[in-house]
């Protein structure tokens, strides 16, 4: 069976996080409903990913697949493929659980759904606090983070961190926390290098983990208005030939060489292998400089329906109609009572 060997990033504080992990967000369909029918495929994909050598699994309460992720993990432990301590499992606290006391309830429910004793990392998914009804709860993310610190003290997770925090929010958090976040999971890709935020995190020993690492190269995310590169752009084509790697591998390797971890999601076995096979080549300086020119601040995933909420982390888009937050991002079957069913 094919095996991939994934190195870790080591933080000064001693933590080690795999440089490539496995993402588990199935996404929304055209009607903005969650693609729940793909959950069984996700279960298969997580088992396959662990079989071939992935050790970091990134999930979230929002993703509805914690039961599948937990099942896959327990099965692979039972089969002797891995030990629990070999894995690095991340989940996240959603926006309607931002009161400090709700953070613990959310983490305990995640553990219950996954059938696990502890998590390796829990993140605040977004800095905004939004109720299931879509009300702006205006809870300070520092309060939510205090809830996370309490969860850490109780031993429910080994590390804590944040996601979608901008530079000012990171500065404020680092100035006001007792336990530093291990990572900030943000959108970074060839079109969106986020240099200032990445530099600040790295100088402060916070690992940057990139999501949507392929940017708009993915055909489902490419439209006439999206910036270069595409899979078949001449530059990507030439680099693919030169290094004997695909455009997606070049995109992931580029981030790795900047000290950024990635968590690509795929339900396709060949791509699961492809995305982790980026540790046997090196993009040279001239090609890095060429790739850096694609940086244009373009945000492939831009959730404008969040933009009028307190603590929204990105620049607002002017002159557009703002729809309400899709119901699938506010309520879900086991979202209200955090039950296991
Ligand atoms: P990715 O950027 O990883 O892209 C996933 C899509 O790309 C899928 O359609 C997949 O198709 C396809 N794909 C994967 N690998 C390849 C490849 N080698 N060649 C061609 N196509 C490929 O997706 P996400 O935006 O989901 O981000 C990754 C993860 O990051 C998420 O799963 C989630 O865990 C996390 N995330 C976190 C967010 C946050 O707010 N913190 C926001 C968004 C994501 P297929 O499955 O059919 O193979």
Residue 101 CA to ligand 1 centre (angstroms):
32
Q: Is 263 in the pocket of ligand 1 (CB under 6 A)?
A: yes
ipTM of the complex: 0.99
Q: Give the model confidence (pLDDT) of 182-221 as tens digits.
A: 999 999 999 999 999 999 999 999 999 999 999 999 888 8
The share of the chain scoring above pLDDT 90, in percent, equals: 87
C-alpha triplet 63, 68, 72: angle, nearest 5°: 135
Q: Does 59 score more than 50 pLDDT?
A: yes
Q: Residue 91 in contact with residue 61, Cβ under 8 Å? A: yes
Q: Is 266 in the pocket of ligand 1 (CB under 6 A)?
A: yes
Q: Rounded CA gap, 147 and 323, in Å?
A: 31
Give the mean pLDDT of 267-292: 98
Residue of 265, 301, 306 with the most ligand 1 atoms within 8 Å of its CB, for mutation: 265
Closest residue by CA, ligand 1 atom 25: 212
Q: Which CATH superfamily is domain 8-329 in?
A: NADP-dependent oxidoreductase domain (3.20.20.100)
Q: How far is CA 139 from CA 98, 129, 163, 273, in A?
A: 7, 6, 16, 41
Q: Rounded CA gap, 209 and 235, in Å?
A: 25
Residue of 162, 215, 218, 245 with the most ligand 1 atoms within 8 Å of its CB, for mutation: 218
Give the mean pLDDT of 92-104: 96
Residue 262 CA to ligand 1 centre (angstroms):
10
Q: Give the model confidence (pLDDT) of 222-233 as tens digits.
A: 888 889 998 889
Tokens of 198: 């990445």
Q: Is 271 in the pocket of ligand 1 (CB under 6 A)?
A: yes
Q: How far is CA 16 from CA 88, 89, 174, 252, 334, in A?
A: 9, 12, 20, 19, 32
Q: List active site positions.
A: 63
Q: Note the pLDDT of residue 221.
A: 85
Residue of 28, 187, 190, 212 with the most ligand 1 atoms within 8 Å of its CB, for mutation: 212
Q: Give the model confidence (pLDDT) of 125-181 as tens digits.
A: 999 999 999 999 999 999 999 999 999 999 999 999 999 999 999 999 999 999 999
Q: Is 275 in the pocket of ligand 1 (CB under 6 A)?
A: yes
Q: Is 4 in the pocket of ligand 1 (CB under 6 A)?
A: no
Residue 340 CA to ligand 1 centre (angstroms):
26
Domain boundaries, given as residue ranges, for the chain? 8-329
């Amino acid at each position: 069976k094919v095996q991939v060997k994934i190195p870790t990033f080591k933080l000064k504080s001693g933590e080690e996080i795999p440089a490539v992990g496995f993402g588990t967000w199935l996404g929304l369909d055209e009607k903005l409903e969650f693609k729940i029918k793909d959950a069984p495929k996700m279960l298969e994909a997580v088992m396959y990913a662990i079989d071939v050598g992935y050790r970091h699994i990134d999930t979230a309460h929002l993703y509805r697949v914690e039961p599948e992720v937990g099942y896959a993990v327990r099965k692979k432990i039972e089969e002797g493929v891995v030990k629990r301590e070999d894995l690095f499992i991340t989940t996240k606290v959603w926006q309607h659980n931002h009161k400090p006391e709700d953070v613990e309830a959310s983490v305990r429910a995640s553990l219950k759904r996954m059938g696990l004793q502890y998590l390796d990392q829990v993140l605040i998914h977004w800095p905004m606090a939004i109720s299931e009804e879509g009300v702006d709860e205006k809870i300070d993310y520092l309060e939510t983070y205090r809830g996370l610190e309490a969860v850490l003290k109780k031993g429910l997770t080994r590390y804590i961190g944040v996601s979608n925090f901008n530079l000012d929010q990171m500065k404020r958090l680092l100035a006001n926390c007792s336990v530093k976040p291990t990572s900030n999971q943000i959108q970074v890709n060839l079109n969106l290098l986020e240099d200032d935020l990445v530099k600040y995190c790295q100088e402060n020993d916070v690992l940057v983990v990139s999501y949507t690492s392929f940017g708009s190269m993915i055909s489902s995310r490419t439209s006439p208005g999206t910036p270069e590169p595409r899979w078949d752009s001449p530059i990507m084509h030439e680099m693919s030939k030169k290094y004997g790697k695909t455009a997606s591998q070049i995109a992931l390797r580029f981030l790795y060489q900047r000290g950024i971890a990635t968590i690509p999601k795929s339900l396709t076995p060949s791509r699961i292998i492809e995305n982790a096979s980026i540790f046997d080549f090196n993009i040279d300086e001239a090609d890095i400089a060429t790739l850096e020119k694609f940086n244009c601040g373009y945000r492939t995933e831009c959730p404008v329906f969040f933009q009028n909420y307190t603590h929204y982390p990105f620049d607002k888009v002017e002159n557009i109609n703002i729809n309400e937050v899709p119901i699938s991002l506010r309520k879900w079957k086991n979202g209200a009572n955090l039950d296991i069913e």
